[in-house]
A and B are shown apart, each in its own frame.
Chain A
Amino acid sequence: MDISWNWLREYVDPGANPDSVVEQLTMSGLNHESTTAVGNDWCIDLEVTSNRPDCLGHLGIAREVAVLTDRPLRMPSVDLSRDDDREIEKYCQVTVEASHLCRRYTARLVRGVRVGPSPQWLAQRLKTIGIEPINNIVDISNYVMMECGQPLHTFDFAKLRGNRIVVREPKQGEQMVAINHQTYTFEPGMCVIADAERPVAIGGVMGGAETEISPSTRDVLIEAAWFVPGSIRGTARQLNLHSDSSFRFERGVDIEAVPWAGARCAQLIVELAGGELVPGQIDVKFGFPERHPIEFRFAGITRNLGIEIPRDIVVKILRGLGVEVLDHDRQRCRCLAPSWRRDLTREIDLVEEVGRIYGYDKVPDNVAVPMTSSYKPQGIRVLEKVRDVVRAAGFDEAMSPSLIPEAWSSACSPWTDRQPLVSQQPMLGVLEKGSQNLGPVQYLRRTLMASLLEAKRINEYRANDEIDLFEIAHVYLPQEQGLPLEPLMLGIVSGRSYVDVKGVIENVCREIDPAISLDFSPTDLMIFDQSHSATISADGKVVGYVGAISPGGKKTFGLRQPTTAAELDLTALSQRAVLIRRFSPLSEFPAVTRDLNFIVAEEVLWKQLEATVRVSSGALLESIQYRETFRDPNRDGPGKKRVLLSLTLRSRESTLSGAQVDDVCRSVIEACQSQVGASLVS
């Protein structure tokens, strides 16, 4: 809200310098944005919160200044004494059909005005706050709006057909050219101000061009009305037409002060443009909410603000703000909020008013707060461990938007077959060069991998080195009923191989649960290479996916370099977290390692060979290490491979003898022979 310093001082005298007043206003709720010199005046921009429409006029701000600086407020005097005169009804009629959109409509008529330029002082004040003067009539209606916050409209009365105003909903396809010379088509639910035949204004938003004030205008009809805030907001949005008027109606103007604004406007027109006021006003009004007395216990101040404020100061502040203090004793008072403060309905509202004027700087910032212990939930402890492992493996943490384009959403959905959730609004401006033509970003992602593949593409395009990224975030899995599931995922993308990434995944899982046993089985996810990929499960439950990106997948995501992606369900894994590890006694005897080089059929998987070795090696086994796979069809025949592994054995009782080690190896070799058809390389 821009205000003119000179104009403000017409209502209150806070001294010559705006700086200290502006500081006081900031600290009482009207945040100071800027002060700009305009001629011999200052334009002061104050931020008005949406609960304070009363401060969308100079008078409202002057009232704040008056109570803050303890100076009197000078209200302009307006004569409302002849409002009941019915003379005006001889000239025109007002019908409000749409009382659900317009709760009050007043009209006044000034006849025989001379349209011309505004006097210098008025034009200057409007210019200070950025409003271009047009002619004295339009300027006066703007001036009164900026004075008291009530928007007004003036019609060239001669052009109103049938000498009447009808407030109604639009007829099918009704159109109007507004004073900005744009044509608008009314939609159902909008408020039309019409004459006997056609729309003459978009109620509360903008007037029509055909009935606007022109140099030849003689008689002026002044509209002062009250439109329902939600309807004005909707209309302004739908028409993409926002005006000073709609801004104020959206926030709610003082319905009880509507006649005051109309009278003030008429008075200034007569004063500055001549003419004669037709006695009386037309005032069509429907019930508006009554103001009820508020019970205000003084103890509420200390209870909420933590300070004591003397009772006489409390009462003085309330009265300064226009609150009627009906009666009061030592404990409490009964108050009636002013008509322009519809936001004040409860004790707590008055506590805030008193507090903000008294000054929050008087609230201490060093009171005793009882001590209490906090706890770190298991989920966070698990995340800390996971981040440590992935970071140590050389992965940088990424963060990407939760919404993605349709192309990525449909390219990969490992966790659900249900359609993704879609937001009505897309995210704008979040796609990088090369992806900007992918369509609206409005699909709630069901996997992190798509976003990470895009991140890799961007890094590839920028020729960055070692693109190893991870992200920890929720995905959104729709359910038949209720809110979607939002499991927390660890997503990974890397230029490293399947086995390298698998190693990282294994480390993460073992960090969470050292005893976890993971199974890697084939996956049919199209995004992954047919062979270099796996569904990861633990105890029969799927906990993740890992795989090299298939040629088709690379094309979908614009990737040029070899890429591996993975995703782990951290919510599922957290449930088996072992955060405190147990000691297991150590043998003090040395270990012995033996290499075994088996020839097996290609179909034999490492996991089968490993399980056979593990079971058959018995209690002395400490660990099994995979070394390498080697193929030599000339010596071993086709369809065979050599798998070299190392066995580490250790006893708890003694240093192992050669014979003991030989015994273990013999039983391992026999088991491998009989169970997986392995023969030892001789």
Chain B
Amino acid sequence: MAPGNSSPLESFVRELDALLEAARQSFGSASSLQQVEEARVAFLGAKSGRFKAAQKQLGQIPADAKPTAGQHLNRVKNEIQAAFDAAKARFATESFRGEADPTFDRTLPGTTSRLGRLHPITQTINELMDIMGRLGFSPAYGPEVEDERHNFEALNIPADHPARDPLDNFYLSVASKRDGETRLLRSQTSTVQIRVMENRQPPIRVISLGRVYRPDTADPTHYPMFHQMEGLMVDEHVNLATLKTVLQLFATNYLGASVPVRIRPSFFPFTEPSVEADYFWNGKWTEFGGAGIIDPNVFKAVGYDTERYTGFAFGLGVERLCMIRHGIIDIRNLYTNDVRFLRQF
């Protein structure tokens, strides 16, 4: 047999190999599930697929070569099928998840609705109320414009006391005295003590929280308006040890650790003994606020039996607690209402 005149088997095998090569090419280069399907129809289609056509040529192979040709045909069919399966698998994810969008930037900022912030003083007050609530103290309120009885007299601050000096208080002007009564913006929340005790009998456990006013010129550490929390507990068997215990529980709660509290003598007209409470924080003693056992004169002013009841009161400056906690160094920032400041808390 002369070269170039190949046998029918050889030419059959050669055609099959070419077909396999073409099929691999098509399935491999398909860039969508659609193209894979088109290639499947072209190569493996039951009616007019190219493999089907090649299969028909098997009849022209001499009988002795038929087994060899049949084996080859089967191997090629399996391999085309494998190429199709592989191509289909490549696009299975895409069909499930949708096509990829290379132009999408997944790091663009999210759409939010802006959340407002509560004032740091409100946050501090809420926390103080919460802690004192757990210790059994309920909130009580009183007016900010007060009469002298509640701001001074009932608190054992007599008329000639320096604390009543017109320059040290926001007294209302004469024109504002419609009924001749002297009024002022309260200088302390202790006024609420009196209002509570005038209306209720012991046992009493309340806190009053709110604005108080003293005519200091505003500077980094002073403001003519600030907030106080006043605690009041009246019952039988209330004494300095009860006070110290409550202050200790409060400090432990507020500062979140075992913080020592100490009390040392001080002077306030409405308490006797009067003490100043300090807590040990960041390596030093820091003033907490004033406190003491309610002066019997205060009980007399509200008609309590001084032989039966004793009580304690304490007052804390909310601004100071707030500023220490948040690291605020100028009290005026609290009342300028710059939104950049308010959004920090």
Contact = CB atoms under 8 A, between A and B. Distances in A.
Q: Is the interface of A mostly helix, strand, loop or mixed?
A: loop
Interface stretch (A138-146, A313-321, A345-353, A600-608): A345-353
A346 B272 CA distance: 10
Interface string B257-276: 00001111111000011111
Given A387-B118, A390-B116, A307 B241 contact: yes
A372 B134 CA distance: 9
A25 to B, nearest CB: 10
Contact of B145 (A387, A462, A468, A476): A476
Contacts of B55: none
B287 to A, nearest CB: 9
Nearest to A476: B145
B94 interface: no
A191 to B, nearest CB: 16
A16 interface: no
Contacts of B171: 423-425
Interface stretch (B63-71, B78-86, B212-220): B212-220
Contacts of B26: none
Contacts of B342: 396-398, 469
B280 interface: no
Contacts of A379: 141
Contact of B264 (A26, A396, A484): A26
A355 B292 CA distance: 12
Contacts of A367: 241-242, 245
B273 A402 contact: no
Contacts of A659: none
Given A402-B144, A422-B172, A422-B173, A51 B267 contact: yes
Nearest to A307: B241
Contacts of A371: 136
A360 B145 contact: no
Given A363-B241, A421-B172, A425-B169, A402 B143 contact: no
B115 interface: yes
A351 B165 CA distance: 30
Contacts of A312: none
Contacts of A425: 166-167, 169-171, 215
Given A50-B267, A424-B171, A425-B170, A304 B239 contact: yes
Contacts of A387: 118, 122
A443 B113 CA distance: 38
Nearest to A464: B339
Contacts of A330: none
A55 B247 CA distance: 29
A424 B264 contact: no
A483 B121 contact: no
A348 B272 contact: yes
A342 to B, nearest CB: 14
Interface residues of A, number: 95
Nearest to A391: B116
Nearest to A455: B337
Contacts of B114: 394, 466
B136 A459 contact: no
A15 interface: no
A241 B30 CA distance: 100
A29 interface: yes
B219 A429 contact: yes
B176 interface: yes
B162 interface: yes
Interface stretch (A129-137, A229-237, A550-558, A626-634): A229-237
A122 B263 CA distance: 37
Given A374-B137, A483-B145, A427 B240 contact: no
Nearest to A429: B218
B310 interface: yes
Contacts of A476: 144-145
A269 to B, nearest CB: 34
B245 A364 contact: yes
A360 B116 contact: no
A421 B146 CA distance: 13
Interface string B324-343: 00000000101111111011
Nearest to B205: A372
B183 interface: yes
B119 A399 contact: yes
A373 interface: yes
Given A52-B267, A363-B244, A481 B239 contact: no
A468 B116 contact: yes
Contacts of A474: 144, 211
A427 B145 contact: no
Interface in A10-38: 26-29, 31
Interface string A42-64: 00000001111000000000000
Contact of A397 (B116, B179, B275): B116
B203 interface: yes
B48 to A, nearest CB: 51
Contacts of B117: 391, 396-397
A393 interface: yes
Contacts of A465: 339
Contact of A360 (B137, B184, B265): B265
A425 B224 CA distance: 10
B293 A304 contact: yes
A400 B205 CA distance: 30
A393 B338 CA distance: 18
Contacts of A455: 336-337
A366 B145 contact: no
A329 interface: no
Contact of B262 (A361, A419, A464): A361
B215 A366 contact: no
A229 B272 CA distance: 22
A9 interface: no
- A371, A421, A467: most-surrounded residue (chain B CB, <10 A): A421
Contacts of B247: 365
Nearest to A396: B342
Given A365-B248, A469-B337, A486-B144, A376 B116 contact: no
7 cross-chain pairs, A with B, having the tightest CB-CB distances, nearest first: A306-B241, A429-B218, A29-B265, A49-B267, A352-B273, A306-B239, A455-B337
16 contacts: A27-B262, A49-B266, A230-B160, A237-B165, A363-B240, A365-B248, A369-B135, A371-B136, A377-B138, A397-B116, A402-B225, A430-B335, A458-B336, A476-B145, A480-B178, A486-B143
